[in-house]
Structure 1
Amino acid sequence: MEFTELTDYSIPAGTLTEWLPCAEEDAWRQDPRPASYIHEAHLRRSADPRSGEGRESWLGTAFEIAGPIDTEVFGRALQRWIDRHEPLRSQAVFTSKGNPASALIRRTAPPGKVAVRRVQHDPADSATIRTQLHLLFDDYTTPQLWPAYVFATLAHDSADPDEESGGSGAFTVFFGADHSIIDGYSIVLVAHEITALYEEERTGRPADLFPVGSYIDFGASERADVHDIDADHEAVRIWRETLRESDGAMPGFPLPIGRRTTRTTPQKRLSERWFDSEDATRFSERCRDADVGFFAGVLACFGQATTDLTGADRFRTVVPSHTRTGPMWAGSLGWFVGLRPIDLDLDGSAGFVSLAGRAAQELRRTRASARIPFDRVGELLGVPIRPRFLVSYMDVRFVPMAAQWPEANARALRSRSYTHDVYVWINRTPEGINVSARFPDNPEAAANVPEFLDRVRDLMRRLNTSGPWAPDLENHELPATGR
């Protein structure tokens, strides 16, 4: 599934309907379970105007369901999905309203207590619908209010069929939620689950969804598990060493990305298909021949691109790792993400095999750092752990419905971002390898980030076509810039 922004998703003309979760005040119950570390930190940062992080931070998805929409059936399917995932029926709030320095308390509604109200708009063109969706997601996905998520459907205009989006023979489902409720893996599960529940309600065909645990239980258990760790814990030592090696700052992008400014300009973005499924398989085989995993091979190419373009002898970044440690969390909605720093030694590399081996060893070395919430580590170090350069890899080939994503026009969506950092997402799907990125909107970053990623892609392709490359990579053709 390609990760992109709503701006880049194909939207036909039609009739937009908002589906707004609601609950009576007496439906809520006090809940003693605490917020997870990452959820609490997100709430405090987003509520504090000094943090500069009060803008949108939602993730979402869009996908199509065949046939005209049956609104009554769809409403029942949404209510069942809300009942299935407890975070959609729960909220952590400050005891002193709007004061991020106050304590947090939780309120949770039991299953069956959340209804979905339907608001239908007049038929409109594509541009108008896109604007309405942006406003809807930005307004409804604030972490400080419930619900921090929202649904919409688009009945396609039969007078203006769009072959790519299915024309009048389908309707599009949109879902957006604040990051505190979902992560990137959660998002790719949504299309299958809502489609399956809708079809069960419509036809009686069983959805056959596996039972899931509650992220709220996960967060409470995680908090209890790490409460007593101290500054000597392995995860803390790894992060302390990373900060020391980077002069107290988080690792940054290898090339210049312009000066940080106070302007709140949306970041630039790119989204590209690098490999089809056959080329992705070939790259995976090359990695296996080198006795490493796919991501280690990718990191080796990032490292070689760094030394080619800068002459640097180290490649540093931060990579996310999932924390879904048991089968009960496999299909849960939540923010199951840890972070680990990567410090790849590029000096004296004997080529791809050696560099990929070092990357694999580095992934093993830092595994413990992803098991402890990075906000807890930040508390112990007295330094916030906030990535400036992140490289994410996710293999979603075996997610339910993955093979049907192209025909369902399914996409993972993310909100605009306004930070001065570089994030790169590499996703392996049944179709191949999709790469997307966001970076500052200035001339330096606009030139250097795509150039760097082009070099990484070229190295991956060279591995496929010519086998493991030698250390010099024929650098007389690609001299280091020393930038």
Structure 2
Amino acid sequence: MRVLSADLWEPAPGQVITWDVTPRAGFVATPSALTYNQRNHLLGAHDGEPSVWITAAFDVDGPVDRDALEAAFRDLVAAHPGLRVEAVRRPAPRTVGLVRHAATGLAWRRQEGPVTRTADDTRELLVAELSRRCAPFGYPAFLPAAISRPDRSTVVLGMDHLHTDAWSTTVVVDELAARYAEHAAEAGPARRRGSAPAEPAGAAAIVADPADLAAPSGKAAPSDPADVAGPPFVAADDPRLATWHGFLRDRGWALPTFPLPLGVPDGERAPQRTVVRPLADAATADAVAARARSAGASTSAAVLVTLACAVADLGGPATLETLLPVHTREDAAARRAVGWHTTTVPLRIETGDGADGALATTGKALRAARELAAVPLEQVVETLPAPLRFPRVDIFQVSYLDYRRLPGHTASAGRAAHHVSAATRADDLQVWVSRTDDGIVVRARMPRTPTAVATVDAVLARWSELLTALAG
């Protein structure tokens, strides 16, 4: 899986095909649970923040079999409740909520779009459509599309963050590719002449939504769309809640910001700049993993501690404070679910104990931080003795995802699988690290200012040097 942002995407030209999906008259959507991340995302959109979409894209041989692809899209949406939720505005004080549509209550209509001539034209057309169609309010907040070419075509499913997370893009690619191949292989002469694809698969194909799985046996999911899905509140004296509070108290109840200068005045944002670059090749990544294991840590701990050391080497603090997204998928059903199934945990990374000492310390801190995922974020915020402060719109966070452990990994390279995110505006640094068979790659999102360019480029270069040194 190659992780990009829209400003770096170079889709080859061809005929662009899209699908409109609309709820049918007479079908009533049912209330659905809203997670903390979804609520915050929707409140931002409600206040005018730009669409934050994530696109799964992959290649198939030959021109697009339109009927087979439509059937594959239909099957995917039918199978995943997370793709059938709609964000709705509610009266104050709740403001936002979710409802869910039935798969049989959706109408599909194909649009044969223009033939593009260049990668720039193709990207411009698709980004405009994705930004328009993947806005979270209204249904759907996703765009089924394809770029058809005589030799090799590209399948695209863009989704507002409401519907998806990084893990989900791998599930989407894996399932869409399999369903498309099956429908194309089964296509008879009548289907090839353009008759309508079959209706979506029945209830036996439905993948349970983790929000629904959280409901007690024999009981329905929460009936109030403002009810928050997720783990139950922990006890008021739970040490994990106290750890969250201590992290924020030490920061004056403010969320972490990147400690080096980025050249953005307080209260302002700049157009986003994206950098994608390798941090370590496959051999180096394997050696880093072995070094980490010998210190009782993981590759992700090695990645985090070398980032912290790079920041410290360039004038930052000896202790780097950040937030770490972690997945909440705990069983087989959740591993194959499409939705936003992550939470966030705080992490302090110490750099002063030498390479192996810092690795061991970070490994221990990382394991402890992941235990905090059991504390609902809404409980953390609701129990603070002072209001949570947001120094910037963006939050300094570092994400690590080992794609080798995710669905469809072995086939992703042959499919030219891509995860493409919207490019918007930024006022802080956010980092996504990917581990694949090719090594370790980083995508960094930052403000497009001369200061941020110089700062982040220097950090990434030093980070790569330190990972290579750690490999020995």
TM-score, normalised by the number of residues in structure 1: 0.85
Secondary structure of residue in 2 paired with 1:122: strand
Change (3 A) 1:399 1:227: closer
Shift of 1:384: 5.9
What letter is aligned with 2:305?
A
Unaligned runs of 5+ in 1: 157-167, 467-483
Per-residue CA distance 1:11-40 (angstroms, 9 max, x = gap): 222111112222213223333x43122212
1:356 aligns with 2:359: yes
Per-residue CA distance 1:224-282 (angstroms, 9 max, x = gap): 66565465443432222112222332222131112335555321110012233222212
Q: How far apart are the structure 2 equivalents of 1:278 and 1:187?
A: 27
Q: How far apart are the structure 2 equivalents of 1:227 and 1:286?
A: 38
Match of 2:109 among 81, 102, 117: 117
Conserved 8 A contact 1:250-1:387: no
Residue equivalent to 1:325: 330
Match of 1:247 among 227, 243, 252: 252
Match of 2:292 among 287, 299, 317: 287
1:145 aligns with 2:138: yes
Residue equivalent to 1:454: 461
Instruction: For 1:62-81, list aligned pairs within 5 A.
Output: 62-81=57-76
Secondary structure of residue in 1 paired with 2:405: coil
Q: How far apart are the structure 2 equivalents of 1:204 and 1:376?
A: 50
Q: How far apart are the structure 2 equivalents of 1:362 and 1:307?
A: 18
Q: What is the aligned residue count?
A: 442
Unaligned runs of 5+ in 2: 188-200, 215-220
Instruction: For 1:58-97, list aligned pairs within 5 A.
Output: 58-96=53-91
Residue equivalent to 2:127: 134
Secondary structure of residue in 1 paired with 2:126: helix
Q: How far apart are the structure 2 equivalents of 1:383 and 1:447?
A: 31
Per-residue CA distance 1:339-393 (angstroms, 9 max, x = gap): 111112334x1x1110011101111222232223324422322316776211111
1:199 aligns with 2:181: yes
Conserved 8 A contact 1:269-1:437: yes
Q: How far apart are the structure 1 equivalents of 2:53 and 2:406?
A: 22
Conserved 8 A contact 2:35-2:230: no
Instruction: For 1:309-458, list aligned pairs within 5 A.
Output: 309-310=314-315, 312-347=317-352, 349=353, 351-381=354-384, 382-383=387-388, 388-458=395-465
Residue equivalent to 2:33: 34
Residue equivalent to 1:162: none
Shift of 1:215: 4.3
What letter is aligned with 2:3?
F
Q: How far apart are the structure 1 equivalents of 2:300 and 2:233?
A: 33
Secondary structure of residue in 1 paired with 2:397: strand
Secondary structure of residue in 1 paired with 2:16: strand
Residue equivalent to 2:192: none
Shift of 1:412: 0.5
1:13 aligns with 2:13: yes
Change (3 A) 1:19 1:264: farther
Residue equivalent to 2:44: 45
Change (3 A) 1:415 1:376: farther
Per-residue CA distance 1:272-305 (angstroms, 9 max, x = gap): 1223322221211111122211111112212322
Shift of 1:125: 1.5
Shift of 1:329: 0.4
Moved more, 379-388 or 434-443: 379-388
Secondary structure of residue in 1 paired with 2:430: strand
Per-residue CA distance 1:432-479 (angstroms, 9 max, x = gap): 211110111111111111211211110110122x3xxxxxxxxxxxxx
Secondary structure of residue in 2 paired with 1:425: strand
Conserved 8 A contact 2:254-2:389: no
Identity %: 26
Q: How far apart are the structure 1 equivalents of 2:443 and 2:264?
A: 23
Change (3 A) 1:210 1:312: farther
What letter is aligned with 1:400?
P
Secondary structure of residue in 1 paired with 2:320: strand
RMSD: 2.5
Q: How far apart are the structure 1 equivalents of 2:378 and 2:263?
A: 28
Moved more, 216-225 or 438-447: 216-225
TM-score, normalised by the number of residues in structure 2: 0.87
